[in-house]
Amino acid sequence: EFESFLSTSLHSISLDIETLQSQIEELSTFSDTPAPSVTRILYSENDVLARRYVKNLMGLSGLSVREDAVGNIFGRWDGYEPELEAVATGSHIDAIPYAGKYDGVVGVLGAIEAINVLRRSGFKPKRSLEVILFTSEEPTRFGIGCLGSRLMAGSEQLANSLKETVDSQNMSFFDAARSAGYAKDNEDLSTVFLKKGSYSAFVELHIEQGPILEEEGVSIGIVTAIAAPASMEVEFEGNGGHAGAVLMPYRNDAGLGAAELALAVEKYVLESGSIDTVGTVGILELHPGAINSIPSKSHLKIDTRDIDEKRRNTVVEKIHQSAVTIAKNRRLSLTEFKIINQDPPALSDKSIIRAMEIATQELNLTHKSMISRAYHDSLFMARISPMGMIFIPCYKGYSHKPEEYASSGDIANGVKVLALTLAKLSQD
Ligand code: GLV
Ligand code: MN
Ligand code: MN
Ligand code: MN
């Protein structure tokens, strides 16, 4: 039955790429910054509007919609054996400041279109199919990435720390969630946790966010592993003072501590000897932030990743040691050194990889195996479900900036591969 669906679908897959493209455009207008940039921050007015837009599309596709306490959104198509664990797909729609239209969005709107394709073809899933919109894959507002999927995977640590978490305007996580209509009745986030085995498979469609597929002219990337991310928050404090009056020997400049640590991050990353080790200081703030005032406080956020967890951990440890040493040598106080997250890598499931490969072959698309250097909600879904990811090419590998772009043809290919993969997994 599945085989016959597969072979007829090769010729009859009716994908409405124009509609999908116009949905991507429309979703991009829910933004706090002007086009072509997209900025969509968790629980903001534009995030709420964008969520409403997606829920409406889910409804139009015949999915029954459910939301959990933090706003992970689930759209379900019941299979003819609904008691079996469902097959899930999905991604995120939040966007970091001055981002593009495609990161995450392709995996949400594309998943809904994959459902439409399967429905139009007359396919009936055995296992239920579920489209998930994950809350806050990006760490922008509350500092932690993959907030929704991390909780779904059962992170008690996150559930506890969110009780004390505030944003840069000092608004608590729960006040923000309530303003968007979530976490209404109580603050017990254990309701978000899912049991291991809740899904028989999870597959995420995403733009590559790297240049390889485009450079090599390959249509589909099949992700075999997701690199291990870590992030840290550091604060130095010194005495500050007048930029003219305090002579150099009497200073303990918190800004210079931060600058020295930023350069140390680069040094330790390069010292690993592997091209796979990366490190970034994406946030560096100085207080009071006046040209004629010696910085009395500095605040850094540091991101480092590697496909090798041990090597990544070595970098984290060196950064920590370095922060301590810099503070000592510069007579600063290291008032904070906090590891925000230090996650292991994730491996894709062999049988999902196989299903994705078969789908690309049936569609006559070229594919290659690759690792994901960016993190995704799949990193956490892998803790509770067999996981796989489908990558499509994006222009010059651009991502996390307004120039991010994926062509209609590449998006259509990705959606088709997703549809066939979901179809196959739903019959298993
Ligand atoms: C996801 O946005 C990442 O930072 O990898
Ligand atoms: Mn992103
Ligand atoms: Mn993403
Ligand atoms: Mn990010």
Percent of the chain with pLDDT over 90: 96
Q: What is the mean pLDDT of residues 73-85?
A: 98
* Angle at alpha carbon of residue 345, lines to 381 and 407, rounded to 5°: 70
Instruction: Tell me the two tokens of residue 54.
Output: 């997606």
Q: Which residues are CB-contacts of 313 (< 8 A; sequence separation ≥ 6)? A: 230, 342
Contact 346, 150 (CB under 8 A): no
Residue linked to tokens 């986030």: 189
CB-based contacts of 358, cutoff 8 Å, min separation 6: 420, 424
Q: Which token pair is 147?
A: 């907030």
What does the pLDDT read at residue 187?
A: 83
Separation of 136 CA from ligand 2 center, angstroms?
Answer: 10
Instruction: Tell me if 303 CB under 6 Å of ligand 1.
Output: no
**Mean pLDDT of all residues in 95-121:** 98
- Does residue 121 surpass a pLDDT of 80? yes
CA-nearest residue for atom 5, ligand 1, is: 374
pLDDT in tens, 24-56: 999 999 999 999 999 999 999 999 999 999 999
Task: Evaluate: CB of 374 within 6 angstroms of ligand 1.
Answer: yes
Q: Which of 92, 376, 380 should be mutated for ligand 1, with most atoms under 8 A from CB?
A: 376
Q: Which of 340, 375, 377, 399 to mutate to test the pocket of ligand 1 (most atoms within 8 A of CB)?
A: 375
The bound ligand whose nearest atom lies closest to the alpha carbon of 134 is: 3
- Mean local confidence (pLDDT), 320-329: 98
Q: What is the pTM assigned to this prediction?
A: 0.95
The Å distance, Cα 124 to ligand 4 centre, comes to: 36
pLDDT at residue number 186: 77
**Can you give the pLDDT at residue 11?**
53
Q: Band of the pLDDT at 130, cuts 50, 70, 90?
A: very high
> Which H or E run contains 88?
strand 86-92
CA of 298 to the centre of ligand 4 (A): 22
Confidence of residue 363 (pLDDT cuts 50, 70, 90): very high
340, HSE (Cβ side, Cα atoms, 13 Å): 21
For β-strands 346-347 and 220-226, DSSP reports them as: antiparallel
270/171 Cα distance (integer angstroms): 38
Helix axes 254-271, 309-329, angle to 10 degrees: 150
Per-residue pLDDT at 361: 97
Q: What angle do CA 341, 345, 351 make, to 5 degrees?
A: 140
* Residue located via tokens 């990337």: 221
Contacts of 236 (CB under 8 A, 6+ apart): 254, 257, 258, 261, 297, 298, 323, 326, 327, 330, 332, 333, 334, 335
Q: Hey, which residues does 389 pair with through a beta bridge?
A: 204, 223
pLDDT in tens, 187-222: 899 999 999 999 999 999 999 999 999 999 999 999
How large is the average pLDDT for residues 256-278? 98
The average confidence (pLDDT) of the chain is 96
- The residue-averaged pLDDT of 265-275 equals 97
d(CA 29, CA 36): 9
pLDDT exceeds 80 at position 10? no
232 and 301 Cβ atoms separated by less than 8 Å: yes
pLDDT at residue number 5: 60
CA distance 382 to 349: 9
Establish whether residue 258 lines the binding site of ligand 1, counting it when its CB lies within 6 angstroms of any ligand atom.
Answer: no
Burial 317-338 (b: 16+ CB within 10 A, else e): ebbeebbeebbeebebebeeee
Identify the structural domains of the chain with CATH numbers, from first to last.
2-227+345-427 (3.40.630.10), 228-342 (3.30.70.360)
Q: Which residues surround ligand 2, an ion (CB under 5 A)?
A: 103
Ligand 1 atom at minimal distance to the Cα of residue 376: 1
The secondary structure of residue 43, as a DSSP letter, is T
Q: Is any ligand 1 atom within 6 A of the Cβ of residue 316?
A: no
Q: Quick one: average pLDDT of 374-401?
A: 98
Residue ranges in 273-394 assigned as alpha helix (H): 309-329, 350-362, 378-381
Q: With 80 as the cut, is the pLDDT of residue 1 above it?
A: no
Q: Taking residues 395-424, what's their average pLDDT? A: 98
Q: Are 224 and 371 in contact (CB under 8 A)?
A: yes
Q: Is the CB of 202 under 6 A from ligand 1?
A: no
Ligand 1: which of 106, 209, 372, 377 to mutate, judged by most atoms within 8 Å of the beta carbon?
209
pLDDT for 185 equals 79
State whether residue 232 is helix, strand or coil.
strand
